[in-house]
Structure 1
Amino acid sequence: MCSEGTFSFYRQNAVDYAARNRTLPIRRLDAFLSDLPAGASVIELGCGGGQDSAYMLSQGFEVTPTDGSAELAAQAEALLGRPVEVMRFDELDAEDAFDGTWAEASLLHVPRTELPGVLERIRRALKPGGILHATFKAGDAEGHDGFGRYYNYLSAELLSDMLGGTGWHQIVISEADGIGYDHAPTRWLAMRAQK
C-alpha cells in the first residue's frame, strides 16, 4: 500500500498538515454531492484533517471519515467531534454500503500495481449507481516528492485504461493546473465514475 516514507510524513507532520491553510475544493465537492440523493451515505478515503468531511456533514450527508494515518485521524476527530476510522485503502471490505466515495488527493499514494485492486474494493463498497470522486497528480512515471511521499503520477489515458471494463461507467476525467502541499505547480486529474 502506501510507502513507509508516505506514512512517516503524515505521522510526523499530522498537526501541521491538518492545520494548513487549505482551500476546500468546494466546486468539486458540491458537484459530487449534487449527484447524490439528499442525506446520502459517503465514505471519505484519506480524510486528512477532516475539512471535507465537516463540509459534507454540514450539508446533511451521512459521512464515514477514514484515514490511513492514526495521527491524522486524531486531528480529524478533534475537528469533527466524532470517531474517524484508521483504515488503509486495501482494508476497505464493505459491500453495497455507500452512495458515494470521496477520495480527494488520497488514492494518488497507491502504487500503480495496487490501484486496480483498490478501485475494485471501492466499487464493491458502493451501492449500485454509487459515485466515486478521486484526484491524482498527473505524470508519466511514479516517484516521490521532496517530502519522501510516494505518488503514482498517472496520465488520464492510464487511469481510463484502469477503469475500463471493470464495472465502472460514466467515467469522466478532467485536467487542471494547481499546486500541491509543497506549493509546486501541479497538473491535477479529477475523476468521476459510477458503479
Structure 2
Amino acid sequence: MVVNDEGANPQDATLAAYEHGAREYAERNAGTPSPQVGDLVTRVTRGARVLELGSGPGRDAAALESAGLTVDRTDGAAAFVDALHAAGHEARVLDVRADDFGGPYDAVFANAVLLHVPRADLPGVLATALRACRPGGVLVASFKKGDGEAWTQAYLDDPRHFTYWDEDGLTAALTTAGWVPEHVFESTRPESVERWITAIARTPASPHPYRRSG
C-alpha cells in the first residue's frame, strides 16, 4: 500500500517506522542472510574490520562474523541496537546522516539501508563512508531498482520512504563521492516481488582524507 506523506521528513519518518516495528521487522527477516554477504566476503581477507550500516536484527552481521570478519554493528533505530545488546552483541546507534562514521575500516556493508537516503543526499553519505575506510577499502550496498521515490506501508504498519535507483545513477553517485565503482548490477532474486541493485566499489588506491570522530 503506497501512502502519500509529503509533509513528513522522509528519513525521520522511516526511522520512526523501524523504531515502532523493530520486533515485527526482525521476525520477517530472520531467514537466510542476504547475497551481499558473499559479495563482501570474497573481496576482503579474514579478520577484516567491517562497518555495517543498518544492522537491523543482525542477521547479516552474524553471517559476516561466521566468515571470519569483525563487524561493527550500527543502526539508526535505537530499538534494533537495544535488541542487539540484549542478544549479547556490541552495537551503537549511528544515523547515516552523521558527519563521521568512525574507523578506519576495511569495508562498509550497507544492505537495504541507503535506499532510504534522498537522491540528492546520497553522494554526501557515500563520501562519509569513504572517509571511514582505509585506502583500498570496499563498499557493498544494495538499493531498490526503479524510478523516482515512494512511501509504502508494506511489511510495517508505519510508512517508510524509499528512493529508487538505476545502475547509471548509482555509478554516478559513487563516482561523485570519490569511490571507484567495481560492479553495479541488478541483483533481484527469483522469489523477490521487487527489483534490486547491488553496488560494489573501492576506495582509491592513493590515500584519501580521513577524519576520525572525537
TM-score by length of 1: 0.89
Q: Which residue of 2 aligns with 1:142?
A: 149
Choose which of 43, 50, 57 in structure 2 pairs with 1:35.
Answer: 43
- Aligned twin of 1:163: 174
Aligned position for 2:104: 97
Tell which has more relative contact order, 1 or 2 (C-alpha 8 A, sep 6+).
Answer: 2
SS in structure 1 opposite 2:125?
helix
The structure whose Rg is larger is: 2
Q: Give the Å deviation of 1:128.
A: 0.4
Name structure 2 gaps, 5 residues minimum.
1-8, 204-214
Q: Supply the distance in 1 between the matched residues of 2:135 and 2:162 (Cα, whole angstroms).
A: 30
Task: Return the offset for 1:92.
Answer: 5.2
The alpha-carbon distance between structure 1 residues 72 and 152, as it changes in their structure 2 partners (threshold 3 A), is: same
Does the 8 Å contact 1:173/1:191 carry over to 2? yes
Structure 2: how far apart are the matches of 1:92 and 1:77? 24
Aligned to 1:176: 187
2:80 pairs with 1:72? yes
* Offset, 1:19: 2.4
Root-mean-square deviation (Å): 2.1
Instruction: Specify the alignment match of 1:111 in structure 2.
Output: 118
Give 2:134's aligned residue: 127
Structure 1 unaligned runs (5+)?
none
Q: 2:102 and 2:78 mapped to 1: Cα distance?
A: 24
Give the structure 2 partner of residue 84 of structure 1.
91
Per-residue deviation, 1:164? 2.2
- Per the alignment, residue 9 of structure 1 pairs with 17
Q: CA–CA distance in 2 between the matches of 1:134 and 1:154?
A: 12
Aligned partners of 2:103, 2:73: CA distance in 1, in Å?
Answer: 17
